[in-house]
């Protein structure tokens, strides 16, 4: 079965074989789909969708089927003020089950998405940026709005010694320096630890004047799947001086929010926490760790790169009307 990227008399894309959309309501089935995907992302996890529900969106989870075979899946967020859908958003999705989907399948899945959800659409496809991908999305009448998500992933499917050796020497040296301070790591999934983490995150946004996930969304995420959320705190003389929250989904995990106080920065908290996170995730059988985004010119990005992740850039956010 093939799909044509031909156009009609008005130069509109025509897809001859669009996949069938099937709604997924069961969390267990959705988690299995995410686990099957070779390149899933946190915004497509069950917990993240429920967090967006708490923030006022309506998540709809669908799988794109052809000949009883899943091609892709997506969490689609409907903005419904007063019960009327005014905007549809897909963040880092749909995610494909083929590591390198064909242009025809990319076209088919996104065309089926547009057919199901008409009207204003904001979509950040879970596709690595390329001229081919951009051409396919333009054929669908979508227009690129902003650059895409850039991040990096670290494989945890190797020995602890191999993982340690993969980091740059500056990263390893700063871990050693931090360990000499006597600081310790507390790993917790308790509600109190997460409340502390959210409070530090909110204060951090105020102090540094940046926008990030709101508490209502963060709390909704954790309440939906508390077993997937871990808080790592760096303790110095009994005081928490830095912290990071990590969310597991499928076979991977992603760094979500964090805070580093002045004392924490002095004792190399970023290095100590990142090393502790990856050791713990590896111990739990997690396959890979997403470092949580990279931004050009950002000092924290420069730090993350000392871990030598495999970097990737998605194809941007697109808009369709």
pLDDT tens profile 213-266: 999 999 999 999 999 999 999 999 999 999 999 999 999 999 999 999 999 999
**Residue whose tokens read 């993982």:** 163
Q: Is 9 a residue whose pLDDT tops 50?
A: no
Cα–Cα distance measured from residue 239 to residue 173, given in angstroms and rounded to the nearest whole number: 24
Contact between 192 and 233 (Cβ < 8 Å): no
Q: Average pLDDT for residues 52-79, to the nearest whole number?
A: 96
295: three-class secondary structure by DSSP: coil
Place 2 in a pLDDT band, splitting at 50, 70 and 90.
very low
What angle (nearest 5°) sits at the alpha carbon of residue 130, between those of residues 48 and 99?
55
Position 16 scores a pLDDT of 59
- List of domains in the chain: 20-149+316-320 (3.40.630.30), 151-292 (3.40.630.30)
Q: Is 286 a residue whose pLDDT tops 60?
A: yes
Place 6 in a pLDDT band, splitting at 50, 70 and 90.
very low
Q: Which residues are CB-contacts of 288 (< 8 A; sequence separation ≥ 6)?
A: 153, 154, 155, 156, 157, 251, 252, 253
193: part of which helix (H) or strand (E)?
Answer: helix 191-208
Which percentage of the chain shows pLDDT scores above 70? 94
Cα–Cα distance measured from residue 267 to residue 88, given in angstroms and rounded to the nearest whole number: 44
Position 81 scores a pLDDT of 78
Which percentage of the chain shows pLDDT scores above 90? 89
Give the predicted TM-score (pTM) of the model: 0.92
Place 34 in a pLDDT band, splitting at 50, 70 and 90.
very high
Q: Is 103 a residue whose pLDDT tops 80?
A: yes
Give the tens place of pLDDT for each residue, 263-277. 999 999 999 999 999
232 to 161, 272, 281, 311: CA distances (angstroms): 22, 10, 12, 24
Ramachandran sector of residue 156 (left: φ over 0; alpha: ψ -120 to 50; beta: rest): alpha
170 to 129, 175, 287: CA distances (angstroms): 30, 9, 25
Position 36 scores a pLDDT of 97
Q: Where are the beta strands (DSSP E) in 125-282?
A: 143-146, 150-155, 184-188, 229-236, 239-249, 252-260
Place 3 in a pLDDT band, splitting at 50, 70 and 90.
very low
Give the tens place of pLDDT for each residue, 126-183. 999 999 999 999 999 999 998 889 999 999 999 999 999 999 999 999 999 999 999 9
Cα–Cα distance measured from residue 244 to residue 303, given in angstroms and rounded to the nearest whole number: 15
Q: Which of 12-21, 37-46, 126-135, 188-197 has the lowest mean pLDDT?
A: 12-21
């Amino acid at each position: 079965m093939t799909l044509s990227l031909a156009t009609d008399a008005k130069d509109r894309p025509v897809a001859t074989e669009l996949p069938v959309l099937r709604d997924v309501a069961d969390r267990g089935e959705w988690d299995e789909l995410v686990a099957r995907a070779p390149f899933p992302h946190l915004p497509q996890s069950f917990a993240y969708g429920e967090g967006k529900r708490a923030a006022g969106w309506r998540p709809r989870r669908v799988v794109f089927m052809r000949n009883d075979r899943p091609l892709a899946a997506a969490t689609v967020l409907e903005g419904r003020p007063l019960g009327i859908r005014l905007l549809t958003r897909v963040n880092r999705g749909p995610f494909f089950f083929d590591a390198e989907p064909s242009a025809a399948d990319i076209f088919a899945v996104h065309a089926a998405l547009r057919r199901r959800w008409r009207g204003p659409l904001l979509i950040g496809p879970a596709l690595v940026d390329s001229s081919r991908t951009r051409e396919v999305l333009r054929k669908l009448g979508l227009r690129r709005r902003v650059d895409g998500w850039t991040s990096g992933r670290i494989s945890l499917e190797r020995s602890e010694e191999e993982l340690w050796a993969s980091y740059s020497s500056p990263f390893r040296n700063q871990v050693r320096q931090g360990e000499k301070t006597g600081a310790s790591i507390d790993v917790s999934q308790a509600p109190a630890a997460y409340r502390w983490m959210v409070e530090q995150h909110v204060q951090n946004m105020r102090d540094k004047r940046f926008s990030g996930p709101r508490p209502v969304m963060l709390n909704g995420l954790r309440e939906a799947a508390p077993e997937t959320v871990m808080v790592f705190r760096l303790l110095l003389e009994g005081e928490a001086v830095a912290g990071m929250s990590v969310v597991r989904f499928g076979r991977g995990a992603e760094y979500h929010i964090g805070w580093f106080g002045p004392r924490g920065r002095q004792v190399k908290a970023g290095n100590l926490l990142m090393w502790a996170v990856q050791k713990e995730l590896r111990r739990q059988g997690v396959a890979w760790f997403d470092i949580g985004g990279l931004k050009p010119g950002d000092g924290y990005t420069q730090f993350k790169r000392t871990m030598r992740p495999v970097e990737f850039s998605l194809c941007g956010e697109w808009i369709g009307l």
